[in-house]
Every structure is written in C-alpha cells, then in structure tokens.
Amino acid sequence: MSKNHIKNVHARQVWDSRGRPTVEVEITLRYGAIGRAIAPAGASTGSGEVLELRDGGDRHGGFGVSTALDAVNDEIRALLKGKRIDDQAEIDRLLVELDGTEDLSRLGGNAVIATSMAAQHAAAAAEKLPLWQYLGAFQGNSAADTLPLPEIQIFGGGAHAGRRVDVQDFMVIAVGATSYAEALEWTADVYRAAGDIMTETGRLQGVADEGGFWPAFDNNEDALETLTRAIEKSGHRPAEDIAISLDIAASEFGSGGDYRLARDNRELGSDLLSGMLVDWTERFPVVSIEDPLGEDDADGMVRFTWAVSKRVQVVGDDFLVTNAARIAQAAKDKACNAVLIKPNQAGTLSRTKAAFDAAKTAGYGAIISARSGETEDTTIVHLGVGWGVKQLKVGSFARSERMAKWNEGLRIAETISGVAGSGLPVDGNLPARAEFPWK
C-alpha cells in the first residue's frame, strides 16, 4: 500500500469546554502520517442537525460517548482500513452509507464528523502540508491570501449564559480593520472596556459558555447600549471601526411565530419581534443578525430579510443547519442572505462543503463557526482559509478552546504574508470590505 492508504482508525474519549466527554478520532496512514480531530457540541441546536450519539443513563450525566467510540473502533475502523485517504468525498460517502440514516443517529454525528475531519487532516499530513494549504493545493480550492474576518462574542446570553438575557450572543466585528491581527487587537480593546464597565456597574456575574461575560442586564436592549459604550470606551468608532453582530437564536424562546422575551417580560408575534430588531439596527451599530426568527417561522424570516437585507447580514443557523438543500430553498424564498457553516451540523466535511458551495451559488455570505462546547481542535480555522470562507465565529476573546483558534489564525496569517518571526502586524489579509452585505 502507498502512503495514501489508511492503516488504522482509533477513537478515544476526550473532554470539551463544558467538562463533558466528546469523541476524538485519530487516523494513521501506511507510512506514519496522522490526522486527528475532535467533535464539538452545541447547546442551542437546530432540529435539522445530525444527531450526536450519547450513552444516556447516570454516568457523566448521560453525556457519555462510549457507544460512539465503539462505533468508530469497530464498524468505522473495519470500513476504512486499507482505503485511500485522498478522496474525501468517497470516505464521507462510505461513512454515511454505513450509518444508514439521514441524521447519522445510528453511528452518531459526533463519531462521523470527528472521523471525517481526521481523514482530511491525515490527507494533508501525507503531503506534509497544513490543512489550509492542502485544501487549496490538492482540492482545487483557490485558498486566497486572506483570513476570515473575526466575529467575536463579548456578552453571552440565552443557552450560553443561563438565559440571563434572551439574546444568545452579543458580538463585535472589526469591520474597519485592515488585517487579521489588527481585528484581534481591536476586539481585545473592546473586551477589556466591556469588562471594566461590567465591573464598575456591578453587572458581571461570571463567564458564559463561549468565554464572553455572563451579564446581569435589566433587559436585552441594555446589553446593546452597554456594548456600544464599550466600543466607544475602547477608543474605536462604532459602525466605522467596530460594529455589532447579534445571534438572537429565536427558536430558543419561541415557536409557531409566537415569542416570549423573559428578560423584557414581553410576548411578541413574528412581526413585532422583527420590528423590534429593525429598530435596533437603526439605533445601534448592528450589521449582522443571526436567526432573528425561529426555525419554524419561514414567512417571518422572509419578511425580515426583505426589510433589512440591503444593509444588514441576515444569517441562518438553526434555520439552515449547514444543509445545501435548505440553503437553496431559502435563496429561492428570499429568506436570509448569509449562512452559518458548522461541520458538526452537517455530519461530514463533504456535506459541509456542499452547503458552503450552495451559499456561494445563492450569493449568500458565509460564516464558519465553532460550537459552544469546544476543544483545542482548530479544524474550522483551516477550513475557513482553505475554502475561502469570509467570516469566522469562534466565541469570545477568552478561554483556551477559543484562543487556540484565534491564535491559529495568526500563525496562518504569518505564513500567508511571509513575515513569520518579524513580530509585525500582518497586513492585507482580510477580505475586501466590499464583499460584505453591510458595505
């Protein structure tokens, strides 16, 4: 067998940022090259996502993954041993066929995505290349000399912070930055300023799931006002230098077009919720809103997109679940103008790439995203650069499972710009501002 043939597939239990077990898969090739990847886990999940396989019962609070590990170490290993590693589409096809269900519930979406990502890493290792370079050189993706624009959480809410506020993520995007390094530096300024404000006002309760501040706001709008103040306090200009992005995650507090904002003590229909969000975009420097309506409120999503899409990025997450068919239908319906790309929603990298390609065909923006339950795995950063995804959402500017990804981007940026070791900011490695809906 050549260097491109699989010698062994092995799964082990590791731990994620919530202290829950998850699946790591390691694939070894004939002459020693190794690929390794870890499955993340979400808290706010769409009903159309593939399903994790958890053990249930009392051990690890029911979140054990021994059944998923057995699936890799038994059936998946037997399936893949001896197969070529350099045909990702075929590997993924075999995995889906072996599972036999659309939602990958038999083997587990966590077992399958970890295997799929590990295979891609192993293929890159066989060529002695980092994954982002391999994707460009060997898979026909013209990996541009750009890194995705960071979208970074400052305040957590919703399912990420005990529902202390209803909106799930209050994030910033350094829309005026000229480099990836500068975008991170500006975000660090805002993060510190926000922390100072929260401490001074007695509103800091701790750290949310994704590393942002766990706040004690009186209402949802209070968070927007505070974040705008933090941008100003940091010395940057709201909207011009740094803008706000929101993940409403509306499915978490509503269904059937009816919504309840517990923090505001308000019950709203679809149009009233949309109206509130439109008002926010007019009074605050908001340029991106994710899942503004519930995943079952397609008509509301169409109406909201019509109202704001010329100046705001309307992102489908639970609404689209990294699914190419759903993206194509949404484009036909004129719902959303951007999609969140999460590999573990789709279950394989081939399905993930198909969703990204569908977004490009539709003229949608795309954001490659981590999950709230994360690890040190940096695969999504490499996919973002190698596939040419223009935006990256990882969580906050704190906690090592988040910083591992932001810092990996800095290393890639240095390699792209050829200034490794210079200690200088890496210039010219963010997508052109004109490529984003808000420009």
100 and 180, same domain (yes or no): no
- Whether 135 is covered by a domain: the verdict is no
170 and 307, same domain (yes or no): yes
121 and 232, same domain (yes or no): no
53 and 163, same domain (yes or no): no
Q: Mean pLDDT lowest for which of 196-200, 207-211, 352-356?
A: 207-211
Last residue of a domain, one of 98, 128, 158: 128
404 and 314, same domain (yes or no): yes
Residue 1 has pLDDT above 60, yes or no: no
- Whether 144 is covered by a domain: the verdict is no
pLDDT band at 425 (very low <50, low <70, confident <90, very high): very low
pLDDT at residue 428, rounded to an integer? 45
Residue 10 has pLDDT above 60, yes or no: yes
316 and 169, same domain (yes or no): yes
pLDDT at residue 202, rounded to an integer? 85
- Whether 389 is covered by a domain: the verdict is yes
In sequence order, which residues have a C-beta less than 8 Å from that of residue 20 and are 6 or more positions away? 41, 60, 61, 63, 373
- Tell me what the mean pLDDT of segment 70-89 comes to: 97
Domain with 294 in it: what CATH number? 3.20.20.120
More confident residue, 101 or 426: 101
95 and 211, same domain (yes or no): no
157 and 115, same domain (yes or no): no
- Whether 383 is covered by a domain: the verdict is yes
Q: Can 342 be counted among the known catalytic residues?
A: yes
Select which of 26, 221, 252, 342 is catalytic.
342
Count of alpha carbons within 13 angstroms of residue 273, beta-carbon side: 30
237 and 305, same domain (yes or no): yes
Count of domains for the chain: 2
pLDDT at residue 182, rounded to an integer? 96
Tokens found for residue 30: 């004939």
123 and 158, same domain (yes or no): no
Domain with 58 in it: what CATH number? 3.30.390.10
More confident residue, 244 or 424: 244
Residue 145 has pLDDT above 60, yes or no: yes
Residue 212 has pLDDT above 80, yes or no: yes
pLDDT at residue 2, rounded to an integer? 72
Percentage, residues of the chain above pLDDT 70: 93
- Whether 141 is covered by a domain: the verdict is no
pLDDT at residue 376, rounded to an integer? 98
- Whether 349 is covered by a domain: the verdict is yes
pLDDT one-digit tens code per residue, 25-48: 999 999 999 999 999 998 767 788
- Whether 401 is covered by a domain: the verdict is yes
> Domain range holding 192?
149-435
pLDDT band at 180 (very low <50, low <70, confident <90, very high): very high
Tell me the whole-structure pTM to 2 decimals.
0.94
123 and 161, same domain (yes or no): no
99 and 164, same domain (yes or no): no
Report how far residue 210's alpha carbon sits from residue 372's, in angstroms, rounded to the nearest whole number.
Answer: 5
Select which of 24, 26, 151, 210 is catalytic.
210
Nearest 5°: phi and psi at 305?
A: -60, -45
- Tell me what the mean pLDDT of segment 263-274 comes to: 93
- Tell me what the mean pLDDT of segment 79-106 comes to: 97
pLDDT at residue 162, rounded to an integer? 60
- Whether 247 is covered by a domain: the verdict is yes
pLDDT at residue 417, rounded to an integer? 79
pLDDT at residue 258, rounded to an integer? 95
pLDDT band at 290 (very low <50, low <70, confident <90, very high): very high
Q: Can 210 be counted among the known catalytic residues?
A: yes
